[in-house]
Chain A
Amino acid sequence: MLYLDHAASTPLRPEARTAFADVLALGPANPTGAHARAQAVRAALELARERLAGCLGVLPGRVVFTSGGTESDNWAVRAGASRGVVLYSAIEHPAVAVPARASGGIEIPVCRSGVVDLDALEAVLRAHASDAALVSVMAANNETGAVQPLPEIAALVRDICPDCLVHTDGVQAFTKEPIDVGGSGIGALSLSGHKIGGPVGIGAMVLGQEVELEPLLLGGGQERGRRAGTPDAAGASALAAAAVASTHEDWARVGFLRDRLEAGLRAEIDDLVVYGCEAPRLVTHTFIGIPQVPADMAVIACDRAGLAISAGSSCSSGAQGASGTLAAMGADGSGALRLSLGWSTSLDEVDRALDILVDVVVKLRG
């Protein structure tokens, strides 16, 4: 099976697998216990915290482990909404967009390139200078891979409403693009384990200096009172190991493969559209439209030919829905396919995937 769906979940890195198993081998222990076993697990958890903090250049105490990207995103948005108005971009992942919309938040449009419209953001910030509490813009989009102008966004917020917190969903971008928590004005960063080669079920929130959020989960006061629930030391260790490995990954190599795939598709499909290609993009993503090729059928035909890809975003029943990102970009997205590469993608895999894609397009076009 050829796998070009790394943006959905990328394979577990061997370093993460080893780290996970090492902590499990310590035996049963709750890291908050007082005995030796608990202390060993606690040490693993704190080492993981230090390693992840090191990847981002923050102090370990700024890292809070969570169950994943969705929990971190929900936490930031709900904490923001408890203080005032939430501003969020029109291309946010549902983990941000759904709670933000429910709180009566204000959606900031994006330009046709798929990058947040800074003029629109500025206008909304000025109108809400007194009550805006949180601006949430993802570091890079999960479909197009378009990198968002976080330094410019943070500068606008600092100028217009300095008390407003900037949150970014870094689930796709982390380890592939630099994200400066603290220094540039990013106050909170959401991370997910399985997008970087860690396991599913572990994530993190990284907070800027002096940033505190009203907790989402209440209970035993773990994670310095910020996130209740027994910490997942094995998951955290695996997440940290994956983050270190992913930070040292040769992403230029992956970018070369992505460009080769795109060039091959353009050569074979005259009317190919690559969404978001005018914007700076993650090297791992390509989001393409092929006229007269229904995306859901292309996914099935590719799967039957041994290639795993995805179309738009999935709904909970697994049906392929229309892409919210494309709608926000003002593009007609009935035929959008997301091909996403990762650390394990090889040249041979890309070339074979290209053959399958071209073959499927020819067949579906009859």
Chain B
Amino acid sequence: MVAMSGGVDSSVAAALLVEAGHEVVGVTMKLHSEPAPGGPKAGCCTVDDAEDARSVAATLGIPHYMVNLSVEFTAAVMDAYSAAYASGRTPNPCVECNRLVKFDELLARADLLGIDAVATGHHARLSDGSDASDSSGAAGSPRLRRGYDRSKDQSYVLACVNPSHLGRLLFPIGTLTKDRVRRIAEGLGLRTARKAESMEVCFLPGGKEAFLSARLDLDPGDVLDREGTVVGRHRGAALYTIGQRRGLGVAAGAPVFVEAVDVSSNTIHVAPTPPECEVLSVVRTVWYRPPPLDPLDVEVQTSAHGAPRRARVVAAEGGGAASVRLDEPVPAPAPGQLAVFYEGDEVVGSGEVVSATHAETVPSR
């Protein structure tokens, strides 16, 4: 079963599996509701993308079905998205979809239909767990690794997938560059060959603020500097993210950055420099090896295409949480973001950031 979004990557993923001789079924997930009939056509991508997926499946000579996951997606991703912002966090909806909806639901359906494996068009690789390059993991379970095309690598958003699922997943284009993917699509005459990449969150055609404004009670409030002086007005504290620089409604000569979001008092705090941290506390940890008993030296990445930073991870006893000590101060990720731990190009584990602080030994500035 290939999850076909209607984009070029999943189109080629399906094509490669067909070429390899597999019996392939294409599915497109319907994840959220269309705009109300008769209403404005607010950038509804779903129908067009489903048509593209259907067309590619027809070109490849494979059956294609729609799978309606809108109930699951609405609860686990969209409702959680607005709830997270309402509590002052910055969620990553693609991560939550991968963690809670997409792979669980597709594998369950594959089971029902007697299908062995689920493939997607993610730029990531799975390598055999018996890989000799590393000896610390349990043999047999595949390792999740960065995609070959480092500029398109999507291992970050996959680093929350249930580890027990990896053995039944396939990422057929993870070993290819994006250019190569497009050339294959053109060679096969697939309609999606030159399709632009989707950069936005699929359920936010009107943008984050429009979505949150419709779901949350947002009131304007004060923007405060470090001295507690009111330096501007914001449109609702829940809309803002740690480290944000633009759109703050502050008419200061020099740039300012969001240092803290306080939804209980509906204020945001700004500072002349972006907030930094050396220690991350994370929860909801996922480990692709047995949870480390000793401190583990890794590289940590806190956004989909952020720079990996050297750090040491200490897993809390009992599991579920961990503390990450960075070698050097880094821009502070907002609570709610995923911190992914890498060893080389292999994903070791991840956790959701709950706090990003300075180490006790560092004098507060």
Are B30 and A317 in contact (CB-based, < 8 A)? yes
- Chain A residues whose C-beta falls within 8 Å of the C-beta of B37 in the assembled complex: 94, 98
Total number of A residues with any Cβ neighbor in B under 8 Å? 20
- Chain B residues whose C-beta falls within 8 Å of the C-beta of A315 in the assembled complex: 30, 34
- Chain B residues whose C-beta falls within 8 Å of the C-beta of A318 in the assembled complex: 28, 50, 54, 66
Cα A303 to Cα B27 with chains together (Å): 13
A117 within 8 Å of B by Cβ?
A: no
Are A300 and B34 in contact (CB-based, < 8 A)? no
Per-residue contact bits, chain B 4-20, to A (CB 8 Å; 1 contact, 0 not):
00000000000000000
- Chain A residues whose C-beta falls within 8 Å of the C-beta of B68 in the assembled complex: 296, 319-321
Cα A315 to Cα B34 with chains together (Å): 9
Cα A301 to Cα B67 with chains together (Å): 13
- Chain A: which residue is nearest B109 at the CB level? A297
- Closest-CB distance, B102 to chain A (whole angstroms): 15
Which residues of B in the span 49-70 have a Cβ within 8 Å of any Cβ on A? Answer: 50, 54, 63, 65-68, 70
Per-residue contact bits, chain A 35-48, to B (CB 8 Å; 1 contact, 0 not):
00000000000000
Cα A316 to Cα B68 with chains together (Å): 12
Cα A107 to Cα B159 with chains together (Å): 49
- Chain B: which residue is nearest A365 at the CB level? B112
- Chain B residues whose C-beta falls within 8 Å of the C-beta of A319 in the assembled complex: 30, 50, 66-68, 70
A21 within 8 Å of B by Cβ?
A: no
* Contact for A316 among B34, B63, B67, CB less than 8 A: B34
Are A296 and B67 in contact (CB-based, < 8 A)? yes
Cα A331 to Cα B113 with chains together (Å): 27
Interface of B is mostly: mixed
- Closest-CB distance, B63 to chain A (whole angstroms): 7
B267 within 8 Å of A by Cβ?
A: no
- Chain A: which residue is nearest B69 at the CB level? A319
* Contact for A320 among B34, B38, B66, B114, CB less than 8 A: B66
Known pairs A98-B38, A102-B38, A296-B67; A317 contacts B113 (CB<8 A) = no
- Chain B residues whose C-beta falls within 8 Å of the C-beta of A317 in the assembled complex: 28, 30, 34, 46-47, 50, 66
- Chain A: which residue is nearest B70 at the CB level? A319
- Chain A: which residue is nearest B46 at the CB level? A317
- Chain B: which residue is nearest A102 at the CB level? B38
Are A304 and B113 in contact (CB-based, < 8 A)? yes
With most chain B CB atoms within 10 A of its CB, the pick from A98, A102, A297, A300 is A300
Which residues of A in the span 292-327 have a Cβ within 8 Å of any Cβ on B? Answer: 294, 296-297, 299-301, 303-304, 315-321
Are A297 and B63 in contact (CB-based, < 8 A)? no
A347 within 8 Å of B by Cβ?
A: no
- Chain A residues whose C-beta falls within 8 Å of the C-beta of B66 in the assembled complex: 296, 317-320
- Closest-CB distance, B1 to chain A (whole angstroms): 10
* Contact for B113 among A102, A297, A321, CB less than 8 A: A297
Are A304 and B63 in contact (CB-based, < 8 A)? yes
- Chain A residues whose C-beta falls within 8 Å of the C-beta of B65 in the assembled complex: 296, 299-300, 303
- Chain A: which residue is nearest B68 at the CB level? A319
Are A316 and B114 in contact (CB-based, < 8 A)? no
Cα A333 to Cα B68 with chains together (Å): 15
Are A363 and B34 in contact (CB-based, < 8 A)? no
Cα A242 to Cα B17 with chains together (Å): 44
Known pairs A317-B47, A319-B67; A301 contacts B38 (CB<8 A) = no
- Closest-CB distance, A254 to chain B (whole angstroms): 29
Cα A301 to Cα B27 with chains together (Å): 13
- Chain B: which residue is nearest A299 at the CB level? B65
Per-residue contact bits, chain A 351-366, to B (CB 8 Å; 1 contact, 0 not):
0000000000001100
Cα A303 to Cα B65 with chains together (Å): 10
- Closest-CB distance, A49 to chain B (whole angstroms): 32
- Closest-CB distance, B66 to chain A (whole angstroms): 4
- Chain A residues whose C-beta falls within 8 Å of the C-beta of B109 in the assembled complex: 297
With most chain B CB atoms within 10 A of its CB, the pick from A296, A301, A317 is A317
Which residues of B in the span 241-263 have a Cβ within 8 Å of any Cβ on A? Answer: none
With most chain B CB atoms within 10 A of its CB, the pick from A294, A297, A303 is A297
- Chain A residues whose C-beta falls within 8 Å of the C-beta of B70 in the assembled complex: 319
Are B113 and A301 in contact (CB-based, < 8 A)? yes
- Chain A residues whose C-beta falls within 8 Å of the C-beta of B54 in the assembled complex: 318
Cα A313 to Cα B28 with chains together (Å): 17
Are B113 and A300 in contact (CB-based, < 8 A)? yes
- Chain B residues whose C-beta falls within 8 Å of the C-beta of A321 in the assembled complex: 68
- Chain A residues whose C-beta falls within 8 Å of the C-beta of B63 in the assembled complex: 303-304
- Chain A residues whose C-beta falls within 8 Å of the C-beta of B46 in the assembled complex: 317
Are A294 and B67 in contact (CB-based, < 8 A)? no
- Closest-CB distance, A365 to chain B (whole angstroms): 10
- Chain A residues whose C-beta falls within 8 Å of the C-beta of B67 in the assembled complex: 296, 319
Cα A318 to Cα B68 with chains together (Å): 9
- Closest-CB distance, A11 to chain B (whole angstroms): 21
Cα A358 to Cα B30 with chains together (Å): 28
* Contact for A294 among B38, B47, B112, CB less than 8 A: B112
- Closest-CB distance, B320 to chain A (whole angstroms): 31
- Closest-CB distance, B255 to chain A (whole angstroms): 43
- Chain B residues whose C-beta falls within 8 Å of the C-beta of A316 in the assembled complex: 34, 47
Are B50 and A301 in contact (CB-based, < 8 A)? no
Task: For the A-B complex with A317-B46, A318-B54 known, give 7 more contacts whose Cβ atoms are closer than 8 Å.
Answer: A94-B37, A102-B38, A294-B112, A317-B47, A319-B30, A320-B66, A321-B68
Q: Can you report 22 A-B residue pairs in the complex whose CB atoms are below 8 A from each other?
A: A102-B38, A294-B112, A297-B109, A297-B112, A297-B113, A300-B113, A303-B63, A303-B65, A304-B113, A315-B30, A315-B34, A317-B28, A317-B47, A318-B66, A319-B30, A319-B67, A319-B68, A319-B70, A321-B68, A363-B112, A363-B114, A364-B112
Q: Which 9 A-B pairs have the closest CB atoms?
A: A319-B30, A319-B66, A319-B68, A317-B50, A318-B66, A317-B47, A297-B112, A300-B65, A98-B37
